[in-house]
Amino acid sequence: MLKRHSADIDMKTYQTIPIEECNDPLVDIPAEPFSFTQPHPYVVLEAPYGEASPWMLRQCVLDALLQAHDELNVRRPGWRLKLFDAYRPVPVQAFMVWREFRLQAERAGRSLASYRDLSELMGHDPDLYGVLASRVFEFWGVPSDDLRTPPPHSTGAAVDLTLQNALGQEIEMGSPIDETTERSYPDYYANATSPLMLAAHENRVLLNKVMASAGFCRHGNEWWHFSLGDQMWAWARRKSVAIYGRVR
């Protein structure tokens, strides 16, 4: 099984890319031609969206996603891109990151019940914070309030998604979206001997091809995360600037 290489993505490095906001509007994602994960998984957890909707993207990012969907249908007639998550306000990012910290602590036999948030944990137990952060931030963006370093989803330029066949069934991808293990690395199953896992790898390759055809760039550690125009995209594409900063 292939593991990611540390050079694939450096969270601190990509955040050094400057942002020249292009003011492309944040718009609703139309019901067609996509499929959606319903109910939205973070809304179910009562993440603090307020009046915002998770089903939003920048207009040009949405246009590119429609192109990717057309490309998928050329390759697999009747298939759809199934969206899991898109726009994520910073308070939602903070909510989900803190939840992941608690989950990782539980798996390690620890409890964060005495802490209210990341700041308290950092202040009272920096060693534990460091251990948990090394895993959490391998997958989750830092919920920064700094306009120079927005979480990718808070720019409206990132989307988490999978594939759905013509029968309306999700395609096997080898791990669920948001799993924080090595199985989520895009090429984890590249050398698998199991036919099922080899098929999962080919499905990941297909998803990446249709998204890349429309200009998207995949997260180095997550088979499901794609962005266009944000800092991560600019870093991966060796661009001098990103065109999308935090929306709100």
> Among all residues, which ones are annotated catalytic?
222
What is the spatial distance between Cα 130 and Cα 136, in angstroms, rounded to a whole number?
10
CB-CB contact of 163 with 174 (8 Å): no
First to last CA, the chain: 40
| Residue 5, both tokens | 């290489």
C-alpha span between 159 and 226 (Å, rounded): 6
Per residue in 75-86, is it b (16+ CB within 10 Å) or e — as a string? Answer: ebeebbbbbbbb
Q: Considering Cα of 93, then 99, then 101, then 104, what sign does the dihedral take?
A: negative
Residue whose C-alpha is closest to residue 3's, from 208, 132, 184, 224: 184
Q: What values do phi and psi take at 45, rounded to 5? A: -80, 0
d(C-alpha 55, C-alpha 114), whole Å: 34
